[in-house]
């Protein structure tokens, strides 16, 4: 035990905060690591470029091109991240030994991923992929006016739920199946209701099949706009918030999918009052839904603080969602995951009851003073101790290992 940690423990103890308990709680939090940062969201189907109003920029060398490369890169990242987590897959990452059509995918097409996760004690989450595909060229899928396209994507979403359910069963921990669609229009539409009616009908059919709710959670993810789809998004926040509430599904809040001054942290307690579970995509929007690597910034810390002070660590599915092709992709995973964990740890080291009572007593002076003083409490010493105990590199020493891997593996691709 370092002397830094010992003195930090005493300082926190004086506030009534137990650093041992905070580390213990943090070690139990699983974060879903999005596989798609590893290959710029391209997947294994060779469909070419990314579409659906999302984009990656940059051409940093070493992108993973297949299952072996992507899993090797994930292993490298996981070595440097404390705790045991989940991997978030998209349907476009199937490892089938036959030509796959997305509307007929089966659990066996992902058995390599299940074996991978089982070997390492990881969980898996899943997402149907309703973009980067000829049937989604116009960025209209579940709301398309073309019944053949709707049928194709409904069937894809139905298969996807079964695949996620199979993950939950095989790995003995629930899997989240999250539906996000790009559907929207570049120009101000002449009909806003029709597409939403079609989306609602498609979802009704997708969710009409009752699967095993003890291993499968379904979520729906809204958005405010996409690239080239600036005027209208079919699956807006109001649409999905109501749809999820009425149908007992989870709402997935992606903090890049709201107006720039609208905060997901503020939505968390409101959502948790009305639903048992909630899902998040933690990202970093810069001016727009730019999907930058998650930093230890004010909003990520506030999101973590809300989860912790609502006592909701077991009610929120925390996933990351960003894709930056201008950086070492393994480092991008490590930075984002460690930042999310640092934010959670900081939240766990906060004397929330004391701050709340200042608020309730109307003592806003003490509340503000303490909130600011707490920013300079030695949470870094607790983080270092946590990394040490978890057997992962302390502070920036992980970067040298990523550089070694880059030289030995990534640059040889």
Binding positions for ligand RNT, rule: CB under 6 A: 36, 41, 54, 127, 180, 221, 223, 254, 281, 289, 321
Q: Which helix (H) or strand (E) holds 392?
A: none
- As a residue count, the chain comes to 413
221 is a catalytic site residue: yes
Scanning residues 241 to 270, which ones bind Zn ion (CB under 5 A)? 254
Scanning residues 38 to 77, which ones bind Zn ion (CB under 5 A)? none
Among 165, 218, 321, 324, binds Zn ion (CB under 5 A): 321
Q: What tokens were used for 379?
A: 């949470």
Q: Is 177 in the site for Zn ion (CB under 5 A)?
A: no
What distances in angstroms separate CA 195 from CA 13, 141, 199, 204, 247, one per listed residue? 56, 10, 6, 14, 19
DSSP state of 212: -
Residue 81 interacts with, from ligand RNT, Zn ion, none (CB under 5-8 Å by kind): none
* Catalytic annotation, pick one of 40, 183, 321, 324: 321
- CA–CA dist 379, 308 (Å, integer): 16
**Partners of 88 in the β-ladder:** 34, 125
Of 39 and 406, which has the nearer Cβ to ligand RNT?
A: 39
* Catalytic annotation, pick one of 133, 281, 292, 342: 281
Task: Report, in Å, the least distance between residue 259 CB and ligand RNT.
Answer: 15
Q: What tokens were used for 209?
A: 């099949």
What distances in angstroms separate CA 73 from CA 11, 54, 63, 85, 406, one per listed residue? 39, 23, 9, 15, 10
Residue 36 interacts with, from ligand RNT, Zn ion, none (CB under 5-8 Å by kind): ligand RNT
Give, in degrees to the nearest 5, the angle at Cα 51 between 50 and 54. 90
Task: Report, in Å, the least distance between residue 289 CB and Zn ion.
Answer: 8
**Partners of 221 in the β-ladder:** 252
Contact indicator for 109, 95 with CB cutoff of 8 Å? yes
Query: Per-residue contact track with Zn ion, 5 to 24, x per CB under 5 A?
Result: --------------------
321 is a catalytic site residue: yes
In this chain, which residue has its C-beta nearest to ligand RNT? 180
Q: Per residue in 169-180, is it b (16+ CB within 10 Å) or e — as a string?
A: bbbebbbbbbbb
Task: Report, in Å, the least distance between residue 192 CB and ligand RNT.
Answer: 20
Task: Report, in Å, the least distance between residue 302 CB and ligand RNT.
Answer: 20
What distances in angstroms separate CA 374 from CA 72, 103, 347, 354, 379, one per listed residue? 39, 52, 10, 12, 9
- CA–CA dist 404, 413 (Å, integer): 14
Q: Tokens 């209208």 identify what position?
A: 232
DSSP state of 87: E
146 is a catalytic site residue: no
Of 5 and 180, which has the nearer Cβ to Zn ion?
A: 180
Contact indicator for 305, 350 with CB cutoff of 8 Å? yes
* Catalytic annotation, pick one of 73, 183, 221, 406: 221
68 is a catalytic site residue: no
257 is a catalytic site residue: yes
133 is a catalytic site residue: no
291 is a catalytic site residue: yes
Of 127 and 166, which has the nearer Cβ to ligand RNT?
A: 127
Task: Report, in Å, the least distance between residue 322 CB and ligand RNT.
Answer: 8
- CA–CA dist 103, 105 (Å, integer): 6
* Catalytic annotation, pick one of 45, 177, 183, 254: 254
Residue 406 interacts with, from Zn ion, ligand RNT, none (CB under 5-8 Å by kind): none
Of 54 and 337, which has the nearer Cβ to ligand RNT?
A: 54
Of 36 and 239, which has the nearer Cβ to ligand RNT?
A: 36
Task: Name 155's Cβ contacts closer than 8 Å, sequence gap at least 6.
Answer: 103, 104
Task: Report, in Å, the least distance between residue 250 CB and ligand RNT.
Answer: 14
125 is a catalytic site residue: no
* Catalytic annotation, pick one of 109, 183, 289, 385: 289
Q: Is 281 in the site for Zn ion (CB under 5 A)?
A: yes
Of 53 and 393, which has the nearer Cβ to Zn ion?
A: 53
- CA–CA dist 243, 154 (Å, integer): 16
Task: Report, in Å, the least distance between residue 221 CB and Zn ion.
Answer: 6
Of 240 and 398, which has the nearer Cβ to ligand RNT?
A: 240
Active centre residues (catalytic): 180, 221, 223, 254, 257, 281, 289, 291, 321
Q: Which spans of this chain sit near Zn ion (rule: CB under 5 A)? A: 254, 281, 321
């Amino acid at each position: 035990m370092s002397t830094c940690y010992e003195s930090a423990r005493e300082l926190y103890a004086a506030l009534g905060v137990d650093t041992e308990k905070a580390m213990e709680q943090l070690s139990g939090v699983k974060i879903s690591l999005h596989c798609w940062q590893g290959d710029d969201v391209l997947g294994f189907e060779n469909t070419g470029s990314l579409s659906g109003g999302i984009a990656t920029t940059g051409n940093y060398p070493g992108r993973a091109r297949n299952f072996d490369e992507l899993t090797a890169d994930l292993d490298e990242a996981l070595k440097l991240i404390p705790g045991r987590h989940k991997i978030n897959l998209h349907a476009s990452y199937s490892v089938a030994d036959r030509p796959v059509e997305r509307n007929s995918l089966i659990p066996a097409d992902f058995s390599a991923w299940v074996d991978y996760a089982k070997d390492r004690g990881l969980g898996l989450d899943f997402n149907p992929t309703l973009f980067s595909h000829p049937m989604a060229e116009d960025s209209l899928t579940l709301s398309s006016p073309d019944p053949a396209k709707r049928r194709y994507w409904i069937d894809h979403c139905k298969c996807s739920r079964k695949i996620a359910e199979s993950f939950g069963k095989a790995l003995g921990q629930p899997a989240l199946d999250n539906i996000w669609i790009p559907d929207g229009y570049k120009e101000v539409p002449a009909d806003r209701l029709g597409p939403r009616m079609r989306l609602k009908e498609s979802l009704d059919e997708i969710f009409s099949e009752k699967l095993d709710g003890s291993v499968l959670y379904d979520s729906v993810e809204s958005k405010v706009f996409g690239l080239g789809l600036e005027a209208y998004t079919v699956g807006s926040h109001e649409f999905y918030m109501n749809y999820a509430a009425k149908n007992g599904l989870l709402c997935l809040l992606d903090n890049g999918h709201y107006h720039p001054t609208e905060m997901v942290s503020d939505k968390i307690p409101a959502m948790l009052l009305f639903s048992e579970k909630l899902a998040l995509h933690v990202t970093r929007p810069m001016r727009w839904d730019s999907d930058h690597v998650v930093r230890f910034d004010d909003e990520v810390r506030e999101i973590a603080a809300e989860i912790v002070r609502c006592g909701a660590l077991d009610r929120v599915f925390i996933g990351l969602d960003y894709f930056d092709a201008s950086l070492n992709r393994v480092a991008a995973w490590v930075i984002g995951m460690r930042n999310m964990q640092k934010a959670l740890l900081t939240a766990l080291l906060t004397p929330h009851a004391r701050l709340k009572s200042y608020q309730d007593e109307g003592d806003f002076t003490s509340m503000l003073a303490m909130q600011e003083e707490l920013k300079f409490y030695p949470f870094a010493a607790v983080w270092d101790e946590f990394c040490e105990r978890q057997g992962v590199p302390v502070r920036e020493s992980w970067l040298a290992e990523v550089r070694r891997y880059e030289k030995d593996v990534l640059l040889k691709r």
